[in-house]
Structure formats: C-alpha cells, structure tokens
Amino acid sequence: MDKNQIEEMVFAVVSQQFNVPIHDVTPKILLIDDLGADSAALVEFSARLEDTFKTEFPDLRYLADKDLGELIDFISNHGKLNAATGTGG
C-alpha cells in the first residue's frame, strides 16, 4: 500500500468519525486543536485505524499533537516495518 492510499484511508476515517467533509481534510489538520478530539475520541480513532489497516499500532494517542501528515508517515513506516519483519497485516 502506498502513501497516497494510506492518506485516502486516514482522511476517510477522519471525515467519518469527526463529521468533517472529506474535501476539508488535509495533512495539516490536528486531531485535538482542529477537530476537538478528546481522549475517548483518540482511542476510538486508534481502534478505527487498526480496523481499517488490519493491524495493531502502538498507542496512537501520543500523536494527538501531531498533524495528519505525521500520522500518515507513522502508519506508512509502521507498515514497512511489518512487511520487513513479517508481522502485522
């Protein structure tokens, strides 16, 4: 899966969970500052991402102060690590 596909999937999850039109979702959005995510929303968001990508991620709540671009980079790199080690999905 390439980075553009990951971005599209993350944007779709953000749009659905936070009720934001997909065309308004950009890599510069911050989950807490821009979308008002609280800790419960971050946990739910992490779970949705794990369901979407069929893998487990380390606790993504630490990325709450990062923008979506950084989150997409993290997921992209996590996927590469899984492929290299034969773990995850």
The domain tally of the chain equals 1
Binned average pLDDT, 10 residues per bin, the chain of 89 residues? 94 96 96 90 89 80 81 82 47
Q: Domain for residue 89, yes or no?
A: no
- Residue 28 lies inside a defined structural domain of this protein: yes
The string of DSSP letters for 47-87 reads HHHHHHHTS--S-GGGGGGSBHHHHHHHHHHHHHHHHHHT-
Residue 58 lies in a domain: yes
**CATH label of the domain that carries residue 56:** 1.10.1200.10
Residue 83 lies in a domain: no
Q: How far apart are CA 23 and CA 43, in angstroms?
A: 24
The pLDDT score that the predictor gives to residue 26 is: 97
Range of the domain at 34: 3-72
